[in-house]
A and B are shown apart, each in its own frame.
Chain A
């Protein structure tokens, strides 16, 4: 089976969808001839033609607006916002238009667009190339938000997102595009080679939206994570020496509430890990859901490990980034409660 990194897996998903469906087309800043600043669309214009994968003006609101109009016509546009930090000029289009079109028109019009955007830190991007804005999208009714953590899921989730008839935002953890990262920034870089989830089948397959994956089974505590943090969580669990169950949520909206509640009811403890700032973060929603649905099973307070409530500081990247050491502390606290 072919071995791919996450960039190659995403490229392969786009390549195969372009080949299979003439209504799929790709556009965004620098995605055409050049193939995107992270190379995700490399070679697609040359292979599929100018009108299938092309560059846009630097106008994120215009990109999303154009995609919504194309979706209303009947196409399935896939657009790239170069960094998730740059998506905010398009916020009105996503919130007031893409997310609401089906509802307000009583199903006459809808916007089946897919928005791909690299997010997250750990690349010395400073505060405008490092943010994790998932919670501002999960709060918006009518939007779906997914986050892959490995090449296999990246391809399958992207294909499912493109085929979905509702707007989907796919946040791509750019720190793990080229290899898994466990948060130990001072250790040698790893590639995806040898990782079981780097084996990516050719041909179209789907990772369904709304299904979490159990990455590691355990009985003592449930860890909820997504994106880069799945790899950080594995390292932290290992270093804490606890029998933790790790769920990779993969899809935040729709959320796999059944997998979460089943795991926490089994373990009785829950630690939530995300890179985004803590206050008002998606961890707050997860914590509330677990409390509402698993209270009688809880043996310890729910813990959240997250980025600090500061902008992402360039010089203090690794102080901000919630690495394995902070997870270890939280895991020990819930186990000793």
Chain B
């Protein structure tokens, strides 16, 4: 016998489950304005505490404070607010459309709208975003036609992807929006390759990519970071830490041991941790990383700290694995409410105008959904059947030619 303890296997558990009170007591939140802002051309070793801070601009009184305040014109904030509200209105309407049997699947970005909207507005039209399925705000900020979204979700005759993809796995090259795939994290490396190509050609375009915190466990995440670091690729690599990967809390991805921004430390690239519900903070951090990339100083990893206020998709019920009111207790609030209150505090907005905008956006969404329904909901209208055999290759080989003939299309 020896005196050593027996080994025990550790399985992380979230602080609260259904029926418990939401518990965010263990969360250390620096105050707005508290986390420092390194010069964009500072050497990475001088900023190794950044992954443990939290870049916040909006304080509890809804004022922009501190070194990360991007000093944005009210016009930009209005654009951002509109795109965020449109994203939420669209999500709510299309989620209902799924419940009404009009499509097979839907995923909302509720609570995370500030991230994609701020980054889409901040970056240039010619930059490229490598999205996840929860960044609809990117397209909304760039005025992608709502009817095209609806048609894609209905897989109908107007679907810009001709019925080939699950709802919301969009592709929109003209809007700087790369094709989404259902496999997690497999495009993180594409963003690095795209950025390396831009550098190879002496271009000035940069790439931005997203994964969720759960996907940081995938090998492809680490491979992409390795390549981005080694070749100093002009890319912004974002981890949207929304606390939940379907039903698995962020501790299953390692959140109890360190921050996701801190993954950057091992690769020698800057790791910023940002309040993802603070439009101004997301803008400022993205601007910092973009300037750094365009200065040939390479990649930045940004953890966007947020909360997935809805379920993962139409296929899960979050009340089965987390407290039902957890989203309402999220200490960093709601991104739309916070930007609205900031504009009001600046004297640039009021409740009346907000309500009018909300109503106008709902009308806009309703009109788009009606137009999509007029073409047809899922199964009521389809793209031309023969198109199923196109684009397997640039030119069809004899297999698809014969099989198309066999189907008589």
A243 to B173, CA, bound (A): 56
Instruction: Give the residues in chain A near B245, CB-CB below 8 Å.
Output: none
Q: Are A66 and B192 in contact (CB under 8 A)?
A: yes
Instruction: Give the residues in chain B near A303, CB-CB below 8 Å.
Output: none
Smallest CB separation, A327 vs chain B (Å): 28
Instruction: Give the residues in chain A near B128, CB-CB below 8 Å.
Output: 73
Instruction: Give the residues in chain B near A97, CB-CB below 8 Å.
Output: 181, 183, 186-187, 190
Closest residue on chain B to residue A62 by CB atoms: B223
Instruction: Give the residues in chain A near B200, CB-CB below 8 Å.
Output: 25, 51, 70, 75
In this assembly, does A231 line the interface, its C-beta being within 8 Å of a C-beta of chain B? no
In this assembly, does A89 line the interface, its C-beta being within 8 Å of a C-beta of chain B? yes
| Segment of A10-18, A107-115, A262-270 in the binding face | A107-115
Contacting B393 at CB < 8 Å: which of A61, A73, A144? A144
Total inter-chain residue pairs, C-beta < 8 Å: 140
Q: What's the tally of chain B residues with a CB closer than 8 Å to chain A?
A: 43
A57 to B224, CA, bound (A): 10
Instruction: Give the residues in chain A near B397, CB-CB below 8 Å.
Output: 210, 253-255
With A59-B223, A59-B226, A66-B196 in contact, is A105–B173 under 8 Å at CB?
yes
| Max count, chain B CB within 10 A of own CB: residue among A104, A110, A255 | A104
Instruction: Give the residues in chain B near A254, CB-CB below 8 Å.
Output: 397-398
Interface residues on A, range: 35 or more
A174 to B171, CA, bound (A): 40
In this assembly, does A100 line the interface, its C-beta being within 8 Å of a C-beta of chain B? yes
Q: Are B173 and A108 in contact (CB under 8 A)?
A: yes
Q: Mark A187-204, 1 if CB is under 8 A from B, else 0.
A: 000000000000000000
Q: Mark A169-200, 1 if CB is under 8 A from B, else 0.
A: 00000000000000000000000000000000
Instruction: Give the residues in chain B near A108, CB-CB below 8 Å.
Output: 171-173, 179
Q: Are B190 and A68 in contact (CB under 8 A)?
A: yes
| Segment of B98-106, B159-167, B283-291, B299-307 in the binding face | B159-167
In this assembly, does B227 line the interface, its C-beta being within 8 Å of a C-beta of chain A? yes
A70 to B193, CA, bound (A): 5
Within 8 A of B (CB), among A30-81: 51, 56-57, 59, 61-62, 64-75, 77
A68 to B197, CA, bound (A): 10
Closest residue on chain A to residue B394 by CB atoms: A165
Instruction: Give the residues in chain A near B171, CB-CB below 8 Å.
Output: 104-106, 108-109
| Max count, chain B CB within 10 A of own CB: residue among A59, A73, A92, A257 | A73
In this assembly, does B26 line the interface, its C-beta being within 8 Å of a C-beta of chain A? no
A167 to B200, CA, bound (A): 21
Smallest CB separation, B388 vs chain A (Å): 10
Q: Mark B217-242, 1 if CB is under 8 A from A, else 0.
A: 00110011011001000000000000
In this assembly, does A297 line the interface, its C-beta being within 8 Å of a C-beta of chain B? no
- What are 27 A-B pairs with beta-carbon distances under 8 A? A61-B220, A62-B224, A65-B186, A65-B187, A65-B190, A66-B190, A69-B194, A69-B196, A69-B197, A69-B207, A72-B194, A77-B193, A92-B183, A92-B186, A93-B189, A96-B181, A97-B183, A100-B181, A102-B391, A103-B391, A104-B164, A105-B171, A106-B164, A109-B173, A109-B178, A166-B393, A253-B397
Q: Measuring CB to CB, which residues of chain A are less than 8 angstroms from any residue of chain B? A: 25, 51, 56-57, 59, 61-62, 64-75, 77, 89, 92-93, 96-97, 100-110, 141-142, 144, 164-166, 210, 253-255, 257
Q: Could you list 10 further interchain pairs (A-B, Cβ under 8 angstroms) beyond the known A65-B220, A254-B398?
A: A65-B187, A66-B192, A75-B200, A92-B183, A96-B183, A97-B181, A104-B164, A104-B165, A104-B181, A106-B160
